[in-house]
A and B are shown apart, each in its own frame.
Chain A
């Protein structure tokens, strides 16, 4: 039992717990906050996996920007309790069942059917550093990078267009 393993275990439990919390929480704000916690634990995971740049971007983009956006909208729409379930009563149990089956299948597939993975090798220190990532990003993946910037632009434009008021429309 190394420190890594214990750490991994604790973090894993935390991730799962927060995920479940997000899932079953009746209050939408709580769900969002649980998700933020989840992102944080995943960021720690990235650190453990020698991806510091990714970890930081996880925190700043996901937890910092995306979840904030979510919270804004939650506030806008109001975190009301929803009415009880109408129609399709069979869907819930079936969903649970399917999720369990999915877990079972995917675990089985990935773990027992995949090639023996072994341990994670000891990497060098500069692996995953911002410098390294930047080198690859701006040389090999320059085109996708530029396209991504266009995607972000389009998203911005669309968000504005979608929420624009029509002429004569009342809010």
Chain B
């Protein structure tokens, strides 16, 4: 059997890649997708622990995470579309009117 640590490590790596994506990419859609990646890695960790402790709580939580992620994506994408309508550009760097 695969030790739990391996799954955890994988989850950490995927999370970091997602974080990197949020930082590096300037396309808001890709940033959003990186966020989904991070959520996904968390899900993986949850399921791993659920399996380890023989408890379904982890899986239930993953279920809820998925539901909320879906809602979030819907709203977020709607926002991005509205921004695009206004700014006619999808460069995150250009959305800097809140600078001090």
Asked if chains A and B are in direct contact (CB within 8 A), the reply is yes
Q: How many contacts between A and B, using CB within 8 angstroms? A: 228
Report the interface size for chain A: residues with CB under 8 A from the other chain. Answer: 86
Task: Determine if B81 and A103 form an interchain contact, defined as CB atoms under 8 angstroms apart.
Answer: no
Residues of A within 8 A of B8 (CB): 110-111, 114, 117
Complex Cα spacing A35 to B67, Å: 18
Task: Name A79-129 residues within 8 Å CB distance of B.
Answer: 80, 82-83, 85-87, 91-92, 95-96, 98-100, 102-103, 106-107, 110-111, 114, 117-123, 127-128
Complex Cα spacing A127 to B52, Å: 11
Task: Determine if B29 and A28 form an interchain contact, defined as CB atoms under 8 angstroms apart.
Answer: yes
Q: A38-B37, A54-B47 are in contact. Are A22 and B21 (CB under 8 A)?
A: yes
Most buried by B among A62, A85, A123, A133: A62
Residues of B within 8 A of A16 (CB): 10, 13-14, 17
Report the interface size for chain B: residues with CB under 8 A from the other chain. Answer: 69
Residues of A within 8 A of B7 (CB): 45, 49
Task: Determine if B77 and A70 form an interchain contact, defined as CB atoms under 8 angstroms apart.
Answer: yes
Residues of A within 8 A of B71 (CB): 151-152, 154-155
1/0 per residue, CB under 8 A from A, across B15-39: the answer is 1111111011111011011101100
By a beta-carbon cutoff of 8 Å, the part of chain B in contact with chain A is: 1-10, 12-21, 23-27, 29-30, 32-34, 36-37, 40, 43-44, 47-48, 50-52, 54, 56-57, 59-60, 62-64, 66-75, 77-82, 84-85, 90-91, 93
By a beta-carbon cutoff of 8 Å, the part of chain A in contact with chain B is: 2, 4-5, 8, 12, 15-16, 19-20, 22-23, 28, 31-32, 35, 38-39, 42, 45-46, 48-51, 53-54, 57-58, 61-62, 65-66, 69-70, 73-74, 76-78, 80, 82-83, 85-87, 91-92, 95-96, 98-100, 102-103, 106-107, 110-111, 114, 117-123, 127-128, 132-133, 136-137, 140-141, 144, 148, 151-152, 154-156, 158-159, 162-163, 171
